[in-house]
Structure 1
Amino acid sequence: MKFKLMIGLLLASGTVLAQQVDRAKMERYYQIANGGNAERKDSLANALFAESKKYNSEDEYRTAINVLRTLEKEDKQLALEKIATKKYPKGKITREAFVTNVFYKAEETAAKEKAYLELIKKWPVANFPGDELTYDYVLGSLATSFAKDGNAKKATYYLGEMKERFWRGNGYLPTGQALLAAGDTAAAAPIFKTAMDDAYYYISLPEEQKDNKARFASMGYASSMSAYVNILVGQGKYREALEYIDKALVAAPEQADGLAKVHAKTLLGVNRKLEAYNILSRLYAKGQFETEPELKKLYGDLNGTLAGYEQYNATLKEELVKNIREHIKGNEVFKKAPDFELLNLKGDKVSLASLKGKVVVLDFWATWCQPCVRSFPGMKAAQELYAHDKDVQFVFVNTWERDKNYKENVAKFIDKNQYPFEVVFDDQKDPETGKVLAGKLGINGIPSKFILDKDGNIRYMLTGSTPNVDYIKLEMRELIESAKKEKKG
Structure 2
Amino acid sequence: MKTIKNLLWTIFICISCGAKAQVKPSFSDRLKLITEEQNPLKNVATLYSAIRDLKLDTVDNAENIDVLKGEVALSYLRKSNDTEFEKYIGLIKNKFNQTSYLNMASERLLKDRSRLNYAEVLAKKTVDLYESYKDQPLARPATFPIEDWNRFMVMAAYPYYQVYAEILRANKKDKQALLYAEKALLNKDPQNVLQSSLDVYTALLVSQGQQEKAYQILLKQASIGKSSLEMKALLRTLTVRKMGNKKASVFLDSIEKNISPSYKTELLKKMHTDTSAPDFTLLNLEGKKVSLSRMIGKVVVLDFWATWCAPCIASMPAMKKISSLHPEVVFLFVATQEQGKDAVSRIKSYIEKSGFPKDTLVDSPSSEQPIQFPVSTAYKVTAIPLKVVIDPKGKIRFKAGGFESDTELMNELETMIYIAKKQ
TM-score (normalised: structure 1) = 0.64
Q: What's the counterpart of residue 394 of structure 2? A: 456
Instruction: Indicate conservation of the 8 Å contact 2:333/2:361, yes or no.
Output: yes
- 1:438, distance to aligned residue in structure 2 (A): 2.4
Q: What's the counterpart of residue 99 of structure 1? A: 34
Rounded to whole Å, the distance in 2 between the matches of 1:408 and 1:294 is 37
1:378 correspondence with 2:318: yes
Supply the AA of the counterpart residue of 2:339.
R
Rounded to whole Å, the distance in 1 between the matches of 2:412 and 2:277 is 21
- 1:113, distance to aligned residue in structure 2 (A): 3.2
Aligned pairs, number: 391
- 1:455, distance to aligned residue in structure 2 (A): 2.0
Rounded to whole Å, the distance in 2 between the matches of 1:322 and 1:141 is 50
Instruction: Indicate conservation of the 8 Å contact 2:174/2:208, yes or no.
Output: no
- 1:448, distance to aligned residue in structure 2 (A): 0.9
Structure 2 residue aligned with 1:224, among 163, 181, 185?
163
1:140 correspondence with 2:67: no
Rounded to whole Å, the distance in 1 between the matches of 2:164 and 2:35 is 32
1:168 correspondence with 2:101: yes
Unaligned 5+ runs, structure 2: none
Using CA pairs below 8 Å that are at least 6 residues apart, which structure has the higher relative contact order?
A: 2
Assess, with a 3 A threshold, how the Cα gap between structure 1 residues 406 and 342 changes in structure 2: closer, same or farther.
Answer: same
Rounded to whole Å, the distance in 1 between the matches of 2:240 and 2:285 is 51
| Bigger Rg, which one | 1
Rounded to whole Å, the distance in 1 between the matches of 2:179 and 2:374 is 51
SS at match of 2:304: strand
Assess, with a 3 A threshold, how the Cα gap between structure 1 residues 333 and 167 changes in structure 2: closer, same or farther.
Answer: farther
Matches within 5 A, 1:306-325: 308-325=247-264
1:250 correspondence with 2:180: no
Rounded to whole Å, the distance in 2 between the matches of 1:7 and 1:307 is 47
Supply the AA of the counterpart residue of 2:40.
E
Q: What's the counterpart of residue 361 of structure 2? A: 423
Rounded to whole Å, the distance in 1 between the matches of 2:168 and 2:153 is 22
Structure 1 residue aligned with 2:46, among 106, 119, 134?
119
Rounded to whole Å, the distance in 2 between the matches of 1:299 and 1:230 is 24
SS at match of 1:442: coil
Rounded to whole Å, the distance in 2 between the matches of 1:385 and 1:342 is 25
Instruction: Indicate conservation of the 8 Å contact 1:168/1:217, yes or no.
Output: no
Rounded to whole Å, the distance in 2 between the matches of 1:209 and 1:144 is 33
Instruction: Indicate conservation of the 8 Å contact 1:350/1:424, yes or no.
Output: no
Q: Percent identity of the aligned residues?
A: 24
CA RMSD between the two structures: 4.4
- 1:177, distance to aligned residue in structure 2 (A): 0.4
Instruction: Indicate conservation of the 8 Å contact 1:342/1:349, yes or no.
Output: yes
Structure 2 residue aligned with 1:192, among 109, 113, 123?
123
- 1:167, distance to aligned residue in structure 2 (A): 3.2
- 1:459, distance to aligned residue in structure 2 (A): 0.3
- 1:465, distance to aligned residue in structure 2 (A): 1.6
The one-character-per-residue Cα deviations of 1:180-218 (angstroms, maximum 9, x if unpaired) are x24x44322232344556788889999931599769856
Q: What's the counterpart of residue 177 of structure 1? A: 110
Rounded to whole Å, the distance in 1 between the matches of 2:79 and 2:280 is 40
Instruction: Indicate conservation of the 8 Å contact 1:382/1:472, yes or no.
Output: no
Rounded to whole Å, the distance in 2 between the matches of 1:249 and 1:312 is 29
Assess, with a 3 A threshold, how the Cα gap between structure 1 residues 396 and 138 changes in structure 2: closer, same or farther.
Answer: farther
1:208 correspondence with 2:142: no
Rounded to whole Å, the distance in 2 between the matches of 1:380 and 1:397 is 15
- 1:370, distance to aligned residue in structure 2 (A): 0.9
- 1:372, distance to aligned residue in structure 2 (A): 0.8
Rounded to whole Å, the distance in 1 between the matches of 2:55 and 2:373 is 40
Q: What's the counterpart of residue 37 of structure 1? A: none
Q: What's the counterpart of residue 338 of structure 1? A: 278
Rounded to whole Å, the distance in 1 between the matches of 2:359 and 2:89 is 37
SS at match of 1:350: strand
- 1:447, distance to aligned residue in structure 2 (A): 0.7
Which stretch shifts more, 193-202 or 406-415? Answer: 193-202
Rounded to whole Å, the distance in 1 between the matches of 2:14 and 2:339 is 20
Instruction: Indicate conservation of the 8 Å contact 1:222/1:259, yes or no.
Output: no
Instruction: Indicate conservation of the 8 Å contact 1:139/1:161, yes or no.
Output: no
SS at match of 1:450: strand
Assess, with a 3 A threshold, how the Cα gap between structure 1 residues 330 and 430 changes in structure 2: closer, same or farther.
Answer: farther
TM-score (normalised: structure 2) = 0.72
Instruction: Indicate conservation of the 8 Å contact 2:384/2:402, yes or no.
Output: yes
The one-character-per-residue Cα deviations of 1:15-42 (angstroms, maximum 9, x if unpaired) are xxx959xxxxxxxxxxxxxxxxxxxxxx
